[in-house]
Amino acid sequence: MGWLKKLTKPISKVLDKIVPNEIKPFLPYAAAFAPYMMGPGAGGIFSGMGINNKMLQRALMSGTLNLGSQLSQEGSEGEFSGLSTLLAGAQGALTAPGAADKLTGMTTQGGLDAAGTVGRQADQIMQGRNLLTRATDTGLAGLSKGAEFLGKGVDILGPGKTEPGLNLATLEAAALPISQGSGDLALADAQLALRDYENEMANQDQLDLIDNDGRRRAIRAAMTAAGHLEEIIVETLGELGLKDGGVVGMKHGGVASVLPKGREADYRGGGVIPVGSRERADDVPARLSKNEFVMTADAVRAAGGGSINKGAKRMYNLMHNLEARV
């Protein structure tokens, strides 16, 4: 899918610049709630493109909003979850007014009902369906049920609908969009942590130390610091193909090292430390020299305006500029 990333990467760079950092974490949730809160005419912009089917219009609108929310995240290089975008598009289509009835009408039984065909003739037609037609009918019936279920969410969350409150019905309606928004944000945080880890290891000429355990630890540390739940962390690691492994544990009352046994990180020349289970865990054996000074993670983050990656780059520039004066 490298060709697709070539298309999305420039878009993500533009969005990264024009979308304020303060609202980026909220965009996945806004996109996830959009199918339930869009008015009946949402998606009409696609009419000018010759797309007049309301379900398809809403699917494209919801999918586009989801994709945009993913590409606008801090440090995005154009990666996105295609599954999340497809799910968003499906929710957009199924929450269209009358979607359930339309899908039911597309089944064999729906066609018979519309034509007024009943009795023995209808039974013969239903029994004479081939395997493909039966499978299609089953799929359409399932989608119709899904549309009915999602429609209940629209009745609660949609504009001008039942006033939402802190009750079970509202929580049930909001569960799916909240789950999708959380998943998209978690994936973005994990991808950023993974890039930071690999970039910093490369900058430190320590490519030989990069492994999946290190990737997992870097991602877990970043996601834990961001407040993601353990269940979300595990699911995100699985989506990235890094599910094996877990939280770095304590051994015999001491702190377990995050590096391979007998290995130490060489920071005598300065540099950021991208590995470790979490900040202030003191689990990275490192070599330092006399008169060197180590900055805390909070200081690096502040130097980058909240971004560890940007802060590290500024720290490197400062270090090189000062070294040049000696």
- Tell me the pTM: 0.67
Let me know: does 218 contact 242? Beta carbons within 8 Å.
no
Shared-domain flag, residues 192 and 217: yes
Is there a single domain that holds both residue 150 and residue 183? no
- Domain boundary residue, one of 219, 248, 277: 248
Q: Are residues 49 and 119 in the same domain?
A: no
Does residue 33 share a domain with residue 77?
yes
Of the residues 201, 219, 248, the one at which a domain ends:
248
Give the tens place of pLDDT for each residue, 3-44.
788 899 999 999 988 999 899 999 999 999 999 988 777 777
Using the structure block, give the residue that is written with the tokens 């540099």: 271
pLDDT confidence bin for 261, thresholds 50/70/90: low
Q: List pLDDT tens digits, range 155-182.
A: 888 877 655 566 788 888 889 999 999 9
In a domain, 261, yes or no: no
Report the candidate in 187, 215, 184 with the shortest Cα–Cα distance to residue 199.
215
Predicted local distance difference test score (pLDDT) of residue 282: 63
- The whole-angstrom separation of Cα 190 and Cα 185 is 9
Mean pLDDT of 298-319: 84
Instruction: Give the residue numbers spanning the domain of 304.
Output: 286-326
Predicted pLDDT of residue 270: 58
Same domain? For 15 and 48 the reply is yes
Rounded distance between C-alpha atoms, residue 309 and residue 316, angstroms:
11
Per the CB < 8 A criterion, the answer to whether 284 and 273 are in contact is yes
* Residue 273 in domain: no
Residue 279 belongs to a domain: no
Tell me how far apart the alpha carbons of residues 216 and 233 are, in angstroms, rounded to a whole number: 10
91 within 8 A of 60, measured Cβ to Cβ: no
- Name the phi and psi angles at 199, rounded to 5: -65, -45
Give the 3-state secondary structure of residue 266. strand
Say yes or no to pLDDT of 249 above 60: no
Same domain (yes/no): 177, 237: yes
Name the residue among 294, 289, 248, 285 with its Cα closest to residue 264: 285
143 and 206 belong to one structural domain: no
Q: Quick check: 154 and 95 in contact, CB under 8 A? A: yes
Shared domain check, 109 and 35: no
In a domain, 149, yes or no: yes
Confidence of residue 103 (pLDDT cuts 50, 70, 90): very high
Q: What is the DSSP letter of 118?
A: -
What per-residue confidence (pLDDT) applies to 217?
84
Domains identified in the chain, total number: 4
State percent of the chain over pLDDT 70. 83
Q: Which SS3 state, helix, strand or coil, does residue 205 take?
A: coil
With respect to residue 268, please indicate whether it lies within any of the assigned structural domains: no
For residue 158, give the nearest of 174, 144, 176 by alpha carbon: 174
From the number of C-beta atoms within 10 Å of its C-beta (0-12, 13-18, 19+), residue 300 rates as buried
Q: What is the pLDDT of residue 251?
A: 37
Both 41 and 91 in one domain: the answer is yes
Weakest mean pLDDT among 244-248, 260-264, 322-326: 244-248
Which one of 70, 97, 124 terminates a domain?
Answer: 97
Q: Are residues 13 and 70 in the same domain?
A: yes
Model confidence at 271, pLDDT cuts 50, 70, 90, reads: low
pLDDT in tens, 55-100: 999 999 999 999 999 999 987 888 898 999 999 999 999 999 999 9
Question: Are residues 79 and 105 located together in one domain of the fold?
Answer: no
Rounded CA separation 321/44 (Å): 55
Interstrand relation of 286-287 and 265-266 (parallel, antiparallel or unpaired): parallel
- Check residues 70 and 1 and name the one with the higher pLDDT: 70
**Same structural domain, 10 and 90:** yes
| 256 within a domain of the structure (yes/no) | no
Q: Where residue 268 falls among pLDDT bands split at 50, 70, 90?
A: low
Helices (H), the chain: 2-18, 27-37, 54-71, 82-94, 99-105, 108-115, 119-127, 131-157, 168-203, 212-225, 230-239, 297-303, 308-323
Mean pLDDT score across all residues of the chain: 83
Residue 246 has pLDDT above 70, yes or no: no
SS (H, E, C) 11-60: HHHHHHHHCCCCCHHHHHHHHHHHHHHCCCCCCHHHHHHCCCCHHHHHHH
Q: Give the length of the chain.
A: 326
Q: Which amino acid is at 291?
A: N
Q: Say if 298 falls within a structural domain.
A: yes
pLDDT at 214 over 80: yes
Angle between helix 131-157 and helix 108-115 axes, rounded to 10 deg: 80
- Burial class of residue 32 (count of CB atoms within 10 Å of its CB; 0-12, 13-18, 19+): buried
Residue 278, in any domain of the structure? no
Residue 34's Cβ-count burial label (10 Å; 0-12, 13-18, 19+) is buried
